[in-house]
Chains A and B, each alone.
Chain A
Amino acid sequence: DQQVKQNSPSLSVQEGRISILNCDYTNSMFDYFLWYKKYPAEGPTFLISISSIKDKNEDGRFTVFLNKSAKHLSLHIVPSQPGDSAVYFCAASAYTNAGKSTFGDGTTLTVKP
């Protein structure tokens, strides 16, 4: 049973527009959510996170929204830039699990100039 799902394998947007990447989870014990970005031939790098006590966290062009009742989170990138083209992984962890993260399948974002 996949506990973290990213249902869109790919997303293509125009430069300057908004990118919205979605993630759903099933385990109600998850209380911390993270987004990672991965370029080809590199390891994932941390992008932004949100605790379950919040519903929004913002960092520059990146905003993560959490809807606990729907077990859904989304990453908004505004405005999108060609350098944002990468694979984005959603991850979830539980305080009681000492930081062991469960990852989604990833969404490949392509931002067209």
Chain B
Amino acid sequence: DVKVTQSSRYLVKRTGEKVFLECVQDMDHENMFWYRQDPGLGLRLIYFSYDVKMKEKGDIPEGYSVSREKKERFSLILESASTNQTSMYLCASTQGAPNEKLFFGSGTQLSVL
């Protein structure tokens, strides 16, 4: 089975801190995605990547950046955390064919105080 691993289940950070969320997948998937989940808003796409060192903005990229130095690893960076970035962050991956199902990690619940 595909495994998508997010390094932290829970994180508590202070406003203004730089935050790194790490995601690793073990199935050689081409595509990786970062979503955030908020009550009443569903899952919203922050950034995605179709290849190493490649990134594209999703629907809500403001305040975030990403890094994909290796195929299996996709990092989400909050340059200066703010309280409105308190959320559940979900990483996902797919092989690369269009319309494939997403494989998700367990999520990181980030609280910014």
Give A contacts to B, CB under 8 Å. Answer: 4, 6, 9, 31-32, 34, 36, 41-46, 49, 51, 89, 91, 93-106
Q: Is the CB of B43 within 8 A of A89?
A: yes
Within 8 A of A (CB), among B6-62: 9, 31, 33, 35, 40-45, 48, 50, 58
Question: A103 touches which one: B4, B42, B96 (CB < 8 A)?
Answer: B42
Q: Is the CB of B98 within 8 A of A95?
A: yes
Known interface pairs A100-B48, A105-B41; A31-B99 also in contact (CB < 8 Å): yes
Question: A44 touches which one: B94, B96, B99, B104 (CB < 8 A)?
Answer: B104
Q: How large is the interface on B (under 10, 10 to 19, 20 to 34, 35 or more residues)?
A: 20 to 34
CB of A79, distance to nearest CB on chain B (Å): 25
- A-B pairs with lowest CB-CB distance, top 9: A43-B104, A32-B99, A103-B43, A46-B101, A105-B42, A103-B42, A95-B98, A99-B98, A43-B106
Whether, in the assembled complex, B102 has its beta carbon less than 8 Å from a beta carbon of chain A, the answer is yes
Question: B43 touches which one: A44, A93, A97 (CB < 8 A)?
Answer: A44
